[in-house]
Amino acid sequence: MTLLRADGLRYLAGDRPLVKDASFALEPGTLNVLIGPNGSGKSTLLRLALGLLKPDGGEATIDGTPVAKLSPMARARRIAYLPQARPLVWPQPVGDIVALGRFAFGAAPGRLSQEDRAAVARALAACHLQGFEERAADTLSGGELARAHLARALAAETPLIVADEPVAALDPRHQHQTMQLFRDMARAGRAVLTVVHDLDLALRYADRLLWMSEGRLVADGSPHATVSASRLREVFRIDAAVVETGDRALRLDIAGPS
């Protein structure tokens, strides 16, 4: 069963193409990592696929229904989205931030069902934020706030989570914890699509890599099937050797820019 499908998505900014004929499909039980250099169109592609931008061509569907025909609430009950920009509007408690993830299911701060409270508690625990419920958001470190926003997305407990650079503000320990969490979610039958700039993290945890360059998806497949020195040079303009570790995981030995 395909949860989210993009067919030939295109998007123009004026006369400049930002996304060019991008197609992919997301299945349950997979951790999909979208990689590419800055400005390659990754965030724009996510927003097109979720119906947050109107494409200049192509179509995206959720469970077979065009996203343009779904209300924002209907989309939110199927897909939790964590954008790259997460502004803090007021210093609300962490528990209230996380509870916003239940909004599509009729919840509101101060009006949570037992099911909502349980989902919030699970999300806080998954992001190692137990005991932070009453902390004001403006007292958190950048990494703690990033984890609170991730917990908000997780609290929705949707079949699919889409996260744009969720580990960018995190220290190495929490980066690995977050990627392992995504892997565990996939193993439990959910689908995850995330943007990651740390290529070693992507290679270690992804079931599937989607490589984006200059608005195009130029490769799509498992890390072992898609990563090579020539592709790294083509997409990221770096000289790097691909090293296989003892557990068949891959890592990069980067010499520098090409």
Q: How many CA atoms lie within 13 A of 246 on its CB side?
A: 0
Q: Check residue 136 and report its DSSP letter.
A: B
Please list, residue by residue across 151-184, b when 16 or more beta carbons sit within 10 angstroms of its beta carbon and e when fewer do.
bbbbbbbbbbbbbbbbbebbeeebbebbbebbbe
Rounded Cα distance between 126 and 75, Å, is 23
What's the mean pLDDT in 108-114? 81
How many other C-beta atoms lie within 10 A of the C-beta of residue 27? 16
Q: Residues of the chain with pLDDT > 70: what percent?
A: 98
Tokens of 150: 């991730």
**CB of 239 within 8 A of CB of 258?**
yes
Instruction: Kindly report the pTM of this predicted structure.
Output: 0.94
Classified by CATH at the fold level, domain 4-78+158-257 comes out as Rossmann fold (3.40.50)
What is the sign of the dihedral through the CA atoms of 89, 93, 98 and 99? negative
Q: Check residue 252 and report its DSSP letter.
A: E
**CB of 226 within 8 A of CB of 213?**
no
Q: How do beta strands 208-213 and 216-221 pair?
A: antiparallel
Hey, where are the domains in the chain?
4-78+158-257, 87-157
pLDDT at 208 over 80: yes
Band the pLDDT of 136: cuts 50, 70, 90. Answer: very high
**CB of 236 within 8 A of CB of 37?**
yes
Per-residue pLDDT of 56-110, as tens digits, reads 999 999 999 999 999 999 999 999 999 997 777 678 999 999 999 999 888 766 7
Tokens of 46: 């996510």
The amino acid that residue 207 corresponds to is D
Distant-in-sequence, close-in-space partners of 176: CB < 8 Å, separation ≥ 6 = 201
pLDDT value of residue 109: 65
pLDDT value of residue 89: 64
Rounded Cα distance between 239 and 204, Å, is 19
DSSP-derived 3-state class of residue 162: strand
pLDDT value of residue 85: 79
pLDDT value of residue 10: 98
pLDDT value of residue 110: 74
Kindly state the helix (H) or strand (E) to which residue 243 belongs, with its residue range: strand 238-244
Share the mean pLDDT of the chain: 94
Rounded Cα distance between 11 and 31, Å, is 25
pLDDT at 176 over 90: yes
Rounded Cα distance between 256 and 238, Å, is 6
Per-residue pLDDT of 28-65, as tens digits, reads 999 999 999 999 999 999 999 999 999 999 999 999 99
Q: Which of 96-110, 165-179, 186-200, 209-223 has the lowest mean pLDDT?
A: 96-110
Dihedral angle over CA of 195, 44, 7, 77, nearest 10: 70
Tokens of 17: 């193409």
